[in-house]
C-alpha cells in the first residue's frame, strides 16, 4: 500500500506546491514510484509544474525520473449513495486506484479551506505543512499574545488537523506524522526569525508536530517552474557547476528528506 503524503496549509503561498514538487521528484529520482494529486482544481500549480516538466524533457530528449500527476476521476452524480459528497468520492476513488501500484501518493492541497483538502488531511500518513516565517502565517496554526511569545490557543488550521487525527483514530488508522517546515527563511539573524523559532517550538509540543528545516528564500525556486525542474535535475540538464546558492539549496532539500523519515527511503543524493 502506498504511503500518503499530504502537503497542506490553508494559508496561500506558503510553498506547498514548491515543496510538493521537490519532495515528489526527489522520491521518484531515488527509484520510488510516485503519483501525485493536485487538489487545487483551479490554479493547478502542481499539475502545471509536471506538465511543464514533461514538455521540457520531451523537447530536450531527456528521460528523468518524474512523479506522475493524476486527475480526480469524474463521477456520475446518480452513482452516489444518499448523502455522499461527490468530492469525497472522487478523492477516495483516485486514491484507491493509485494505492496498490505506488510507493507514495503525494497530495498537494489548495491554500484555502475546501472539502477536498479536509478529506485529504484525514488520509495523510505524513502531513507536511510549509510555513512562511511570519506571524501572519503562524496565526492559522495558533493565536499568540501581542508580543508573539505566549500561545493563547490553537487556530483554524490546527483544529482541522486535530479533526483529521480524530477521524483516523476512530477508523483505527495510524496517527498522522505532522511536520511543519519553515519556508523562505531569510539569511540574516533577525528578531522575527528567532521569535518565530521559539513560537513554533513552543507550539509543536502543545499540538504535536515535528519541525523540519525548510528552504531559505532563494530566487532559484521561482525560476525552475517553467521547465518543470527541481534543484536535483540541474546537473542532468547540463549545468556543469552548481553555484553556491544551488548547492546550499540541494543540501536543504536533503535535510528535509531526512527529517521526513519516510518509510523505505534512504537519502542517497
Ligand atoms: N524558498 C523559496 N524561495 C523563494 N521563493 C519561493 C520559495 N518557496 C516558494 N517560493 C515562491 O513563493 C510563491 C508561492 O509558492 P507556492 O506556489 O509553492 O506556494 P503554495 O503554498 O503552493 O501557494 P498556494 O496556496 O497558492 O497553492 C511562488 O511564487 C514560489 O515560486
Ligand atoms: Mg499551491
205-218: pLDDT as tens digits: 999 999 998 999 99
Whether 70 is covered by a domain: the verdict is yes
Strand ranges (E), 21-139: 34-38, 68-70, 104-108, 126-132
Question: In the prediction, which pLDDT does 191 show?
Answer: 81
Whether 142 is covered by a domain: the verdict is yes
User: Alpha-carbon distance 66 to 50, whole Å?
Assistant: 8
Question: In the prediction, which pLDDT does 147 show?
Answer: 87
pLDDT tens digits along 27-55: 999 999 999 999 999 999 999 999 999 99
Contact status, residue 122 vs residue 164, Cβ threshold 8 Å: yes
User: HSE-up of 5 (CA within 13 Å, CB side)?
Assistant: 28
Whether 267 is covered by a domain: the verdict is no
Beta carbon of 35 within 6 Å of any ligand 1 atom: no
Q: How many domains does the chain have?
A: 1
Partners of residue 108 on adjacent β-strands: 7, 38
Question: In the prediction, which pLDDT does 232 show?
Answer: 95
Strand ranges (E), 67-125: 68-70, 104-108
Q: Is 6 left (phi over 0), alpha (psi -120 to 50) or beta?
A: beta
Cα of 110 vs centre of ligand 1, distance in Å, is: 12
Check pLDDT > 90 for residue 164: yes
| C-alpha 239 chain-centroid distance | 27
For ligand 1, what atom is nearest to the CA of residue 20? Answer: 18
pTM score over 0.95: yes
Q: Which three cell numbers stand for residue 38?
A: 493536485
Strands 3-7 and 104-108, sheet pairing: parallel
For ligand 1, what atom is nearest to the CA of residue 184? Answer: 1
User: Alpha-carbon distance 149 to 112, whole Å?
Assistant: 27
Question: What average pLDDT is seen over the chain?
Answer: 95
The conformation of residue 15, written as its DSSP 8-state character, comes to S
Whether 58 is covered by a domain: the verdict is yes
Whether 269 is covered by a domain: the verdict is no
User: Alpha-carbon distance 69 to 76, whole Å?
Assistant: 22
Beta carbon of 104 within 6 Å of any ligand 1 atom: no
Beta carbon of 15 within 6 Å of any ligand 1 atom: yes
Strands 34-38 and 68-70, sheet pairing: parallel
Domain containing residue 72? 3-260
Beta carbon of 217 within 6 Å of any ligand 1 atom: yes
Whether 265 is covered by a domain: the verdict is no
Whether 182 is covered by a domain: the verdict is yes
Here the CATH number for the domain that contains residue 197 is 3.40.50.300
Which ligand is located closest to the Cα atom of residue 224? 1
Average pLDDT for residues 105-131, to the nearest whole number?
Answer: 97
Contacts of 50 (CB under 8 A, 6+ apart): 21, 36, 66, 67, 68, 69, 228
User: Alpha-carbon distance 95 to 86, whole Å?
Assistant: 14
Cα of 112 vs centre of ligand 1, distance in Å, is: 14
Cα of 216 vs centre of ligand 2, distance in Å, is: 18
Whether 133 is covered by a domain: the verdict is yes
Question: In the prediction, which pLDDT does 189 show?
Answer: 73
Question: In the prediction, which pLDDT does 268 show?
Answer: 75
Amino acid at each position: 500500500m502506498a504511503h500518503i503524503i499530504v502537503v497542506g496549509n490553508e494559508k496561500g503561498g506558503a510553498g506547498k506546491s514548491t515543496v510538493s514538487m521537490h519532495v515528489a521528484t526527489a522520491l521518484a529520482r531515488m527509484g520510488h514510484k510516485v503519483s501525485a494529486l493536485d487538489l487545487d482544481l483551479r490554479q493547478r500549480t502542481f499539475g502545471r509544474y509536471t506538465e511543464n516538466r514533461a514538455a521540457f524533457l520531451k523537447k530536450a530528449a531527456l528521460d528523468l525520473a518524474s512523479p506522475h500527476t493524476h486527475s480526480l476521476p469524474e463521477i456520475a452524480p446518480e452513482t452516489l449513495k444518499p448523502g455522499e459528497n461527490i468530492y469525497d468520492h472522487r478523492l477516495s476513488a483516485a486514491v484507491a486506484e493509485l494505492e496498490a501500484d505506488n510507493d507514495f501518493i503525494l497530495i498537494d492541497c489548495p491554500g484555502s479551506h475546501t472539502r477536498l483538502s479536509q478529506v485529504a488531511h484525514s488520509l495523510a500518513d505524513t502531513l507536511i505543512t510549509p510555513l512562511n516565517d511570519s506571524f501572519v502565517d503562524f496565526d492559522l496554526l495558533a493565536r499568540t499574545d501581542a508580543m508573539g511569545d505566549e500561545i493563547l490557543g490553537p487556530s483554524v488550521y490546527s483544529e482541522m488537523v486535530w479533526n483529521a487525527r480524530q477521524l483516523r483514530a476512530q477508523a483505527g488508522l495510524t496517527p498522522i506524522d505532522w511536520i511543519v517546515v519553515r519556508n523562505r527563511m531569510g539569511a540574516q539573524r533577525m528578531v522575527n526569525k528567532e521569535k518565530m523559532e521559539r513560537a513554533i517550538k513552543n507550539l509543536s509540543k502543545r499540538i504535536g508536530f515535528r519541525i523540519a528545516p525548510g528552504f531559505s528564500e532563494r530566487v532559484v525556486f521561482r525560476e525552475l517552474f517553467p521547465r518543470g525542474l527541481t534543484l536535483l535535475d540541474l546537473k542532468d540538464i547540463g549545468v556543469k557547476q552548481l553555484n553556491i546558492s544551488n548547492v546550499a539549496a540541494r543540501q536543504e532539500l536533503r535535510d528535509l528528506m531526512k527529517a521526513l523519515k519516510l518509510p523505505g527511503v534512504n537519502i542517497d543524493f
